[in-house]
Amino acid sequence: MAEEKQVSTKVFGWFVVHAQSGKEFISQEALKKRIEKDSFDAIKEVVVPVYYETIYKNGKKRKVKKKSFPGYLCVKMQLDAETKNYIRETPYVTGFLHQGLGDPIPLSDIEMESILSTGAEESAKPGSVQIDFDVGQKVLIVDGPFNNFSGSVKAVYPDKGKLNVSIEIFGRETPVEIDYYKVKKQ
């Protein structure tokens, strides 16, 4: 019976591995280098799930890679004692995600496909930013030369990531074009 169990676990599956927060890419690279150096064939793939987000900084649009699940890696491997130890001995890896004291449970194909396709779809399509402000809405400027000024939104420019806000300067209503992330709702 022990042999039957061993044979059934020799199938490759995706497992979730804990990594130190902020060290996911370093642990991914360390594991890949160890696999290559040792010609270890019980691990096929190591992935840090990511997605891409468009941000505006200093008026410039940038695409930034963000981790979908900070502190975790996904590893396609055969589950056995040797492979588990091999993973745990990798720098910045702290263990497997599992319930109770038993072996880790692999992700289903649907779960893993969903995780991998989210990052691929986001990277393939052009970035879109949702600006959650409406014309006439009261806002407070929280950054830049007009910090702590209150005003109302006169126009929204989602393609530029900017708002036209009317603020009072020296007793006069003055329109100011400002990046959306420099204001907050009041």
Give pLDDT tens digits for 19-58: 998 999 999 999 999 999 999 989 999 999 998 877 765 5
Rounded Cα distance between 35 and 7, Å, is 22
CATH class of residue range 10-124: alpha beta
Domain ranges of the chain: 10-124, 138-185
**Residue 5 near residue 81 (C-beta atoms within 8 A):** no
Tell me which CATH code domain 138-185 carries: 2.30.30.30
Question: Once rounded to an integer, what is the mean pLDDT over residues 83-95?
Answer: 91
Task: Identify the pLDDT of residue 17.
Answer: 93
**Contact residues for 53 (Cβ-Cβ < 8 A; gap 6+):** 63, 64, 66, 122, 127
Q: Which residue has the higher pLDDT, 55 or 81?
A: 81
pTM, rounded to two decimals = 0.59
pLDDT value at 59 more than 70: no
